[in-house]
A and B are shown apart, each in its own frame.
Chain A
C-alpha cells in the first residue's frame, strides 16, 4: 500500500509547481499583431515583383492575427509612383532629412508644414525604416502629409492628392529613388482596382468594380476613403485579412510602384510594410 503521506507530499508539490509555472511562464503581452501572410500573386523575376501588362486579376493578400487585446488598429495603404531623382541634390554628406530639405518643391513644402505646426496641429507623419531591394540595403524615409490636406478638402478630393512621399537612400547615403502618390488601396482605384475584400473573423465586406446586390458586393467607390482601415475593440485571436486585386492592363503608368502599408495601434505608429512592384 502506498504511503498516504508520500501521496500528499507529491500532490502538494504538483499543485505548487503547476501554480508556479502558471505564474512565471505566463504568456507575455508582446506584439499586438502578427502578420501571417503578406504576398502578391505577381510574376517574379528572382525576388523582384513584376507588374504584367496583360489583362487579369492579380491580388495582394495581407492577413494577420491579434495577439493581445487593444482598442484600435488602423491600417493605411498607399501605392506611390516612382519619380525621377532631382539632380540638384548634393551627393555627399548630410543626413537623409537634410537631403529631402534640398529637393526642389518638396523641401519647401516640408518647411512650410513645419512652420504651420506652431499655429495649428497639422498632422505630418514622418517614418524612417530599412528596406532591402535587389540584394541591397536602403533606408526609406516616408512623409505622409495627407492629414494636413484632409482638414479642409471635400471628402472626395484627398484620394487623388499626391500627399505621400517616399525617398530611398542607398548604403552610401545617396538619394537613390523618389516616390510620390495618393493614399489609397491601389493607384487609380476607379479603373485599375478589380475588387477589395476586408475581413474580420467571420465578417466579410466585399467591394468590386462591378458591384451587384446578387453577389453582395459594394461599389469600390464606397470602400474606406484614403485606403485607411480602422478596426476597434480588438480581441485576442481576432483575425483580419485584406485582399486587394487589380487589373494591370488598366494601370495608366509604366513606372515602378512602391506599396506602403502602415499600421497604427491605439493611435500610435506600430509598423510598416514596403514592397516595390516593377514594370515587366
Chain B
C-alpha cells in the first residue's frame, strides 16, 4: 500500500503563530471549527470538569447531568461518557474535579485502578449501582466506593405495581442526608457484602478513612448510602444503577422523579465537589509540568538553531576557502605560465 503525506499542518495549540504559510488557510478553517465547538473558548479559565460515566445508559447519564445542572450549586462543565477507554483516559486529565460512575450491570471494568488513583489524589467521586461491587470495579470497591460488595440482592417486589422497591432507613447523621428522613424508592436491587453461608449482610468497612453509613436498607440492613473521606471524598449508593430501557425494573425514571433521590444525589455531588482536594493541586502541577516541557522544547529549538548556525558558518568558511584557494592558485599559475614569460 502506498502511503503519501501531503505537507503536514501541525497544530500544536498555542503554537499557531509558528505555522508555515501553507498552513494558514487550514488554520482559518480550524479557527472556525474551534469557534463552533468551543463557544466558551473566550473565557480564560475553563470550568472544572465533572465526568459522568454511565456505560450503555446514555439517557440516565444525561439525566444525572441534568439534575446536577438544575441543582445549580456546582459550577462544572459536565462530560457524559459511555466508552470506558475514553472515560479512563479522561480521569487523568488535569482539570477533572469530580467523577460520577453509575453501573447498571455487574461486569468486570478496567478503570478501577485509575479511579483509585484519582481518589487517592484527593478527587471527589460518586458511585451508583454496581460501582461498589468488587466484581465490577475490583479494588475500587474497597478503596473508593467502600461497600466491599460481593453480591447483589433484589428489593421488595410489588406484583400490583410490577416494580421493585427498597426502603432506605436513615443511619448516621451527615451533611449529605441532612433534612431527609427514611424513604422508599422504586429501585430493583442493592449490592452488598454478603456472607454466602448465611445469605445475610456481612459487615465490613475500610481500615482507613472516615466511613459513614447514611442509609441502610430495611431488608438486609446493609449500607445503602455511604460517605467516605480519606485522601479524596466519595459517596457510594448501593443501588440506583439506573437503566435506560423504560420497561426494565431498573429503569431510571422510576426513581429519578423522587424528591428524596434528587436531594440525596445532588447533596452527594455537592459534598464531594466541595470536599475534594485534587483540583487546585493538579492544575498547578499541570501548569508547572507544561512549563517544564516548554523549557525543554525551547532547549531543543535552541540546539536546532545552533546546529543550523554551525552549518551556515561551515558553508561560509567553505565558500571563502574555495574562492581564496582558487584565486591564489589561478594567480600563481598565470604568473608562472604567462606573466613571467612576458618579462623582457
Q: Contact flags (1/0) for B1-28 with A, using CB distance below 8 Å?
A: 1111110111111100000000000100
Give every chain A residue within 8 A of B46 (Cβ-Cβ): 112, 115-116, 118-119
Which of A116, A145, A147, A180 counts the most chain B CB atoms within 10 A? Answer: A116
Q: With contacts A114-B38, A130-B4, A274-B3 known, is A121 near B323, CB below 8 A? A: no
Closest Cβ neighbor of B90 among chain A residues: A109
B81: which of A16, A105, A266 is its contact (CB, 8 Å)? Answer: A105
Q: Which residues 300-327 of B have a CB within 8 angstroms of A?
A: 300-301, 303-304, 306-307, 310-311, 315, 318-319, 322-323, 325-326
Is B83 close to A, CB under 8 A?
yes
Nearest-CB residue, chain A, relative to B331:
A12
Interface membership of chain A positions 148-179, coded 1 if the CB is closer than 8 angstroms to chain B and 0 otherwise = 11011110011001110000000000000000
Cα A121 to Cα B5 in complex, Å, equals 27
**Chain A CB within 8 A of B115 CB:** no
Take A132-B2, A275-B3 as given contacts and tell me if A125 and B334 are in contact as well, using a CB distance cutoff of 8 Å: no
Q: Max chain A CB contacts within 10 Å: which of B81, B83, B85?
A: B85
Please measure, in the bound complex, the distance between the C-alpha atom of A269 and the C-alpha atom of B83, giving whole angstroms. Answer: 30
A225 CB to nearest chain B CB (Å): 14
Establish whether residues B37 and A111, one from each chain, have CB atoms under 8 Å apart when the complex forms: yes
Q: Contact at B307–A180, with CB atoms within 8 Å? A: no
Looking at the assembled complex, report how far the CB atom of B325 sits from the nearest CB atom of chain A, in whole angstroms.
8
Query: Which residue of the partner chain, among B13, B88, B121, contacts A161 with CB atoms under 8 Å?
Result: B88
* A residues in contact with B9, CB < 8 Å: 127-128
Contact of A180 with B85 in the complex, beta carbons under 8 Å: yes
A107 contacts B by Cβ under 8 Å: yes
A121→B294 contact, CB < 8 A? yes
Q: In the complex, which of the residues A72, A154, A274 has the most CB atoms of chain B within 10 Å of its own CB atom? A: A72
Looking at the complex, which of B145-153, B223-231, B285-293 is the stretch in contact with chain A? B285-293
Q: Provide the bound-state CA to CA distance between A25 and B4, in Å.
A: 29
Q: Which of B200-208, B214-222, B234-242, B336-344 lines the interface with chain A?
A: B336-344
Q: How far is the CB of B322 from chain A (nearest CB, A)?
A: 5
Find chain B residues with CB under 8 A from A69 CB. 307, 310-311
| B180: interface (CB < 8 Å) | no
Q: Is the CB of A149 within 8 A of B92?
A: yes
Of the candidate stretches A56-64, A94-102, A198-206, A214-222, the one touching chain B is: A94-102
Q: Is A7 located at the chain interface by the 8 A CB criterion? A: yes
Q: Which of B79, B303, B337 has the most CB of A within 10 A?
A: B337
**Of the residues A12, A47, A119, A153, contact of B333 by C-beta under 8 Å:** A12
Q: Which of B12, B34, B338 contacts A9 (CB 8 A)?
A: B338
B287 and A152 contacting across the interface, CB-CB below 8 Å:
no
Instruction: Please give, as numbers and ranges, the residues of chain A lying within 8 Å of B325 by CB-CB distance.
Output: 19
Query: Which residues of A have CB within 8 Å of B341?
Result: 4-5
A241 interfacial by beta-carbon distance below 8 Å: no
CB distance A273 to B333 under 8 Å?
no
CB neighbours (8 Å) of B4 from chain A are 130-132
Q: In the bound complex, do residue B303 and residue A118 qualify as a contact, i.e. CB atoms below 8 Å apart?
A: no
With contacts A49-B1, A151-B94, A267-B300 taken as known, whether A101 is within 8 angstroms of B85 at the C-beta atoms is no
By a CB distance below 8 angstroms, the chain A residues around B3 are: 131-132, 273-275
Which residues of A are found within 8 Å of B10, using beta-carbon distances?
A: 125-127, 268-269
A70, A153, A276: the one contacting B1 at CB < 8 Å is A276
A123 smallest CB distance to B (angstroms): 7
Q: Does B89 contact A (CB under 8 A)?
A: yes
The answer for the CA separation of A8 and B38 in the assembled complex, in Å, is: 76
Alpha-carbon separation in the docked complex, A121 to B43 (Å): 15
State A147–B294 Cα separation when bound (angstroms): 12
A120 CB within 8 Å of chain B: yes
Q: How far is the CA of A123 from the CA of B326 in the complex (A)?
A: 52
Q: Which residues of A (62-107) have their CB < 8 Å from a CB of B? A: 68-72, 95, 97-98, 101, 104-107
Task: Choose one: B44, B77, B86, B289; the contact of A105 (CB below 8 Å).
Answer: B86
Bound-state CA distance A267–B12 (Å) is: 11
**A116–B3 alpha-carbon span in the complex (Å):** 33
CB neighbours of A23 from chain B (8 A): 319, 322-323
With beta carbons under 8 angstroms apart, the residue of A68, A117, A271 that contacts B13 is A117
Q: List 24 A-B contacts (CB under 8 A).
A: A19-B325, A69-B311, A71-B306, A98-B33, A98-B36, A101-B36, A105-B83, A109-B86, A112-B46, A112-B93, A114-B34, A115-B41, A118-B41, A121-B14, A123-B293, A125-B11, A126-B11, A128-B6, A130-B5, A131-B3, A148-B93, A153-B117, A266-B304, A267-B297
8 A-B pairs with least C-beta separation: A8-B337, A266-B304, A269-B10, A19-B326, A71-B303, A162-B85, A153-B92, A121-B290
Extra contacts besides A116-B95, A121-B14 (6): CB < 8 Å: A11-B333, A22-B322, A120-B287, A131-B3, A149-B93, A269-B12
Q: Which residues of B contact A (CB under 8 A)?
A: 1-6, 8-14, 26, 29-30, 33-34, 36-38, 40-41, 43-46, 49, 77, 79, 81-83, 85-86, 88-90, 92-95, 114, 117, 121, 282-283, 285-287, 289-291, 293-294, 297, 300-301, 303-304, 306-307, 310-311, 315, 318-319, 322-323, 325-326, 329-330, 333-334, 336-338, 341
